[in-house]
């Protein structure tokens, strides 16, 4: 059995051709070995041992599922037997097939994926990993149950190969190149558990190709529009100077705020209805290892949507944001230097009043010309399956910035749907803030260079929302970032 598999497998891996085994080289080399465990009783006992383990819930931008501890030292007989077979005889055979010296390093764990659990597109690029394996231990499974293993190409087309777990099988994909992107699709069945064993065979590391660096979106200064736009569009409460001072005090205390009923009701309804027009052109954003959602083309905006966009880019709105936040987003807003000069003036008056001859001016004055405040924005559409992910390069490009979110058409949104914006500390598990979609509620968040953000995957529970435009359950938002 092993000899014949080796002969067939070597031919397929080396010549990159289909042979007598279910092998394929697109989008990268992989194979399936059905009935890897041929004993039903062994499989049943193995499943029982695995389900008796302690599992830990894991959830972040990339995944949501339950995982066991490392199985390297477990003593249960069937776990021990399978581990010995995989990292003994099977590892030796696989190394010969691939022509790679695979190390005896044991790297294996158990995962349970249940309703709405998912592992989004990623490359698993860690030193020494050469070949991944997955052994499925599932009940009868249909493609409609979700939970497929999706293999992504890297040619920009984002097509994938879908494997629907059926019975017991072992899927292996070889890290013969580093252009490997995979995901576990969301489990859609409410009563089935996708139980699997997975791990890696380790070997000599391959040279890493240079990482692709995305070109940042161009930033623009404000549009020359006056306060007439504010009077036309905004809830009068937010134009009251005293209320703006209250908002600024709260924002300076917490670096975030949500302003409910921000747009006038009639304007909000007009924009929300216009977004459901078939005339708006939407483009899917990728690549899938970074993001998945749609963005509207500016040229296709209906008139009222275009006017709302102009509002958020206008000079008057930049000044309003300065009043809300204390940030210098307009030349009329006081700078730190202005505040220091005001303090120096007060100190000078105190010195004269007390007759003191000691005067110490502020030493942190910055004579550099202030930069021009700029912004960048998108009108986004979100639906089931959409998300954004953190990326290794995000921290190096992080800047001080003010995020603005204005959600539209998201009634009855529930926490368990996902779709919220999560702010996290760089290289830490700490979640600093979650901003949930709330209709016509303007969210402002100031982040520093150590703060990153992502939008949590929108899961199948969102299908309980009423169907909106053209049989779509969609959420819309304006997303802007402002820089001093």
Domain borders along the chain are 10-202, 220-331+371-483
Mean pLDDT of the chain: 86
Is pLDDT above 60 for 363?
A: no
Q: What is the pLDDT of residue 242?
A: 98
The secondary structure of residue 468, as a DSSP letter, is -
Distance separating alpha carbons of residues 107 and 124, to the nearest angstrom = 13
| Interior/surface letters 448-460, b for 16+ CB within 10 angstroms, e for the rest | eeebbbbbbbbbb
- Kindly state the tokens that stand for 320: 């309003």
Average pLDDT over residues 230-240: 98
Under the banding of pLDDT at 50, 70 and 90, the label for residue 26 is: confident
- Kindly state the tokens that stand for 255: 């670096």
Is pLDDT above 90 for 100?
A: no
Class of domain 10-202: mainly beta
Closest CA to 93 of 129, 125, 133: 133
**pLDDT tens string 386-410:** 999 998 878 888 999 999 999 998 8
Could you give the angle at which helices 40-51 and 77-85 cross, rounded to 10 degrees? 110
The answer to whether the bond into 287 is cis (omega within 30° of 0) is yes
If 0-12 CB within 10 Å is exposed, 13-18 middle and 19+ buried, where does residue 35 land? Answer: exposed
Is it true that 10-202 and 220-331+371-483 share their CATH fold? Answer: yes
User: Which architecture, in CATH terms, is 220-331+371-483?
Assistant: Sandwich (2.60)
Closest CA to 169 of 13, 37, 51: 37
Closest CA to 137 of 18, 254, 30, 51: 51
The secondary structure of residue 368, as a DSSP letter, is S
pTM to 2 decimal places: 0.88
Element (H, E) at 278: none
Distance separating alpha carbons of residues 91 and 97, to the nearest angstrom = 10
- pLDDT above 90 covers what percent of the chain? 61
**pLDDT tens string 167-221:** 566 766 655 555 678 899 999 999 999 999 999 999 888 777 777 788 889 999 9
Distance separating alpha carbons of residues 58 and 70, to the nearest angstrom = 14
Residue in this structure with the two tokens 């998945």, named with its chain if needed: 292
**pLDDT tens string 1-21:** 344 555 545 554 554 344 445
More confident residue, 283 or 371: 283
- Kindly state the tokens that stand for 109: 């764990």
Report the length, in residues, of the chain. 484
State the sign of the Cα–Cα–Cα–Cα dihedral 88, 89, 91, 92.
positive
Asked if 149 contacts 184 with a C-beta cutoff of 8 angstroms, the reply is yes
Closest CA to 121 of 391, 326, 462, 339: 391
């Amino acid at each position: 059995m092993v000899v014949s598999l080796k002969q067939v497998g070597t031919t397929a891996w080396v010549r990159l051709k289909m042979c007598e085994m279910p092998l394929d080289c697109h989008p990268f080399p992989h194979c399936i070995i059905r009935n890897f465990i041929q004993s039903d009783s062994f499989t049943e006992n193995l499943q029982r041992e695995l389900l008796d383990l302690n599992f830990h819930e894991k959830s972040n931008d990339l995944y949501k599922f339950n995982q066991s501890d490392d199985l390297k030292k477990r003593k249960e007989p069937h776990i021990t037997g399978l581990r010995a077979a995989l990292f003994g005889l099977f590892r030796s055979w696989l190394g010969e097939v691939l022509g790679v010296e695979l190390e005896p390093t044991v790297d294996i764990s158990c995962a349970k994926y249940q309703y709405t659990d998912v592992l989004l597109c990623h490359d698993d690029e860690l030193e020494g990993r050469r070949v991944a394996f997955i052994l499925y231990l599932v009940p009868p499974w249909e493609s409609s149950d979700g939970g497929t293993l999706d293999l992504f190409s890297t040619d920009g087309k984002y097509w994938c190969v879908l494997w629907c777990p059926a019975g017991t099988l072992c899927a292996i994909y070889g890290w013969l190149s580093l252009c490997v992107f995979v995901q576990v699709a969301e489990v859609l069945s409410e009563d089935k558990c996708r139980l699997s064993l997975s791990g890696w065979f380790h070997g000599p590391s391959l040279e890493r190709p240079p990482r692709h660096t995305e070109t940042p979106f161009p930033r623009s200064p404000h549009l020359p529009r006056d306060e007439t736009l504010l009077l036309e569009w905004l809830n009068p409460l937010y134009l009251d100077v005293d209320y703006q001072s209250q908002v600024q005090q709260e924002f300076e205390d917490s670096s975030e705020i949500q302003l409910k009923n921000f747009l006038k009701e009639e304007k909000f309804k007009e924009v929300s209805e216009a977004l459901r027009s078939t005339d708006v052109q939407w483009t899917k954003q990728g690549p899938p290892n970074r993001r998945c959602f749609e963005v509207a083309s500016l040229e296709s905006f209906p008139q009222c949507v275009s006017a709302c966009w102009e509002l958020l880019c206008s000079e008057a709105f930049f000044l309003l944001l300065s009043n809300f936040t204390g940030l210098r987003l307009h030349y009329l807003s006081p700078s730190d230097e202005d505040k220091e000069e005001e303090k120096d003036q007060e100190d000078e008056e105190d010195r004269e009043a007390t007759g003191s001859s000691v005067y110490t001016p502020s030493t942190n004055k910055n004579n550099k010309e202030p930069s021009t405040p700029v912004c960048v924005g998108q009108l986004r559409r979100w639906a089931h399956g959409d998300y954004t992910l953190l990326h290794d390069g995000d921290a190096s490009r992080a800047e001080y910035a003010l995020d603005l979110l204005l959600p539209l058409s998201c009634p009855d949104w529930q926490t368990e749907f996902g779709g919220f914006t999560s702010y996290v500390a760089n290289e830490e598990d700490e979640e600093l803030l979650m901003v949930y979609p709330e209709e016509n509620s303007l969210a402002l968040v100031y982040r520093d260079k150590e703060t990153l953000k992502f939008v949590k995957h929108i899961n199948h529970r969102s299908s309980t929302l009423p169907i909106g435009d053209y049989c779509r359950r969609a959420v819309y938002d304006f997303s802007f970032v402002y820089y001093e």
